[in-house]
């Protein structure tokens, strides 16, 4: 059986084991026809994929590549103004964009690999 993605538009990002559980990793991907910074957050076997752009002022969230978390690692945190976002939903729960959401992107795990779906 062919284990390659059936959707030719799906783009390979990395092997799932390249993102530590509770960690995050940056990527460049085409989103809405433009090359954009995105990131994946891994929680166990689940992965959440987001555009790396704060809804408040459109700056990247990470202060250094892959550094997206609050000190307690319970939230994603914008390095510019400290807004906190739920990892699983991308909802801002504290800061100037409270109630707004990170732009979630479609992802799929196939045969231990992470793919970005259009």
Q: Report pLDDT digits (tens) over 28-74.
A: 999 999 999 999 999 988 899 999 999 988 889 997 887 999 999 99
What separation in angstroms does the CA of 53 have from each of 1, 22, 30, 60? 39, 20, 14, 5
Give the pLDDT band (50/70/90) at residue 8: low
- pLDDT higher than threshold 80 for residue 6: no
Threshold 0.85, pTM exceeds: yes
Mean pLDDT, residues 11-15 taken together: 96
Q: Above 60 in pLDDT, residue 2?
A: no
- Which of the four CATH numbers 3.40.1280.10, 2.102.10.10, 3.30.1490.100, 2.40.37.10 does domain 11-117 have? 2.102.10.10
CA neighbor of 23 nearest in space, from 40, 2, 1, 38: 40
Decide: 44 and 100 in contact? Cβ < 8 Å: no
* pLDDT (average), residues 95-107: 95
């Amino acid at each position: 059986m062919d284990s390659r993605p059936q959707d030719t538009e799906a783009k390979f990002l990395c092997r799932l084991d390249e993102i530590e559980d509770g960690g995050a990793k940056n990527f460049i991907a085409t989103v809405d026809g433009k090359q954009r910074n995105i990131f994946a957050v891994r929680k166990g076997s689940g992965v959440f994929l987001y555009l790396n752009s704060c809804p408040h002022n459109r700056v990247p969230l990470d202060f250094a590549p892959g550094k997206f978390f609050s000190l307690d690692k319970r939230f994603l945190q914008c390095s510019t103004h400290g807004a906190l976002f739920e990892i699983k939903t991308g909802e801002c729960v504290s800061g100037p964009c409270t109630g707004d959401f990170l732009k979630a992107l479609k992802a799929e795990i196939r045969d231990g690999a992470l793919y970005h779906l259009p």
